[in-house]
Amino acid sequence: MKKILFLFLCLFAFANSSLIENKIINFIGLNEYNKNKNIINVLFKDTNKFYSGGELDIVAVLEELKNNGLLKLHFNSPKDFILEFETTHIALGNLYIINNILSAMGYHYYFTKGIEKDSQLNMMKLDVVLNTEYIVDPILLSLELQKRNIRVKDIIQHNPDRWTYKIDMRNASVNDIIKISTNEKVSLQKPLKPYMIQISEAKEINITSKKLDTWFPYIVFYDENFNPIYTVSQKTIYSGLKSAIPKGTKYIQIGDLYNLVNIKRGLTLVIKG
């Protein structure tokens, strides 16, 4: 019985080691792996450090590689870098959350190459393209995903300029949300990005811009899954705007149609029940 248990533990350890080895090769390439095999064997000798809850801790592997100078994230010159997100939860709000994450990381100039949905498998794929000198740091990106209750299931490097993140967004949340109670009056300061507010049951929103500002209203009402319900878009200047809140609204994004500089002094809101 002891021999069987020992054999099982050996096989389990070998399987763990093999999985880590394959992941390292995927991240740094076979040539770099062979060149640095001795130091890699030392760094990853204790395989238990790189597992959590019985699953490979991708971020721990990446951190060990980066901390020891083995993870290269620099291109020789600026080029298009493709980030692919494959999620096991379909919601149009997924794109908003990904945009929110990239913005928090300092990426403001990129475009969404494509969105694919498979309702039968409940899968969604988002492709984002950035022109950059650096690969988007997979450690920082993973941490930003985790901050929003998004589980990183796997990260795959197809080549240096195309990485796939397999994630679970079922419990995803958004940071920097302003919670406003019904009948509460709130004065918002200068925005660095469009305001995102969270409300409870309410029927109407009143928004007032500050004197000397030139506000061109752009307002999007979302449900609890960040699916857009209704959009208000105005090409003329408003000093104030009153709008009914569509049924099912949980979040409201408020900005300017052209430039946030137009509301640099902030806005005043009242949510009415």
pLDDT tens readout for residues 3-34: 454 444 444 444 456 899 999 999 999 999 99
What is the dihedral sign for C-alpha 51, 56, 57, 60? positive
Tens of pLDDT, residues 96-150: 888 888 888 888 788 888 888 887 777 889 999 999 999 999 999 999 999 999 9
State the average pLDDT over residues 210-236: 89
C-alpha span between 26 and 48 (Å, rounded): 20
The answer to whether the 74-168 and 178-272 domains have the same CATH topology is no
* Percentage of residues in the chain having pLDDT higher than 70: 92
Summary mean pLDDT of the chain = 88
Q: Considering only residues 67 and 88, tell me which one the structure prediction assigns the higher pLDDT.
A: 67
What is the per-residue pLDDT for 171? 86
In this prediction, residue 263 has a pLDDT band, given cuts at 50, 70 and 90, of very high
CATH placement of domain 74-168: 3.30.70
Tens of pLDDT, residues 28-50: 999 999 999 999 999 999 999 99
pTM over 0.85: no
- SS3 assignment for the chain: CHHHHHHHHHHHHHHHHHHHHHHHHHHHCHHHHHHCHHHHHHHCCCHHHHEECCEECHHHHHHHHHHCCCCCCEEEEEEEEEEEEEECCCCCHHHHHHHHHHHHCCCCCEEEEEEEEECCCCEEEEEEEEEEEECCCHHHHHHHHHHCCCEEEEEEEEECCEEEEEEECCCCCCCCCEECCCCCEEEECCCCCCEEEECCCCCEEEEEECCCCCECEEEEEECCCCCEEEEEECCCCECEEEEECCCCCCEEEEEECCCHHHHCCCEEEEEEC
- Domain ranges, ordered by start, for the chain: 2-67, 74-168, 178-272
State the average pLDDT over residues 67-86: 95
Tens of pLDDT, residues 54-71: 899 999 999 999 999 999
Tens of pLDDT, residues 147-165: 999 999 999 999 999 999 9
In this prediction, residue 174 has a pLDDT band, given cuts at 50, 70 and 90, of confident
What is the per-residue pLDDT for 119? 77
Q: Is the pLDDT of residue 84 over 80?
A: yes
The CATH architecture one would assign to domain 178-272 is: Sandwich (2.60)
Structure tokens, 85: 């997100």
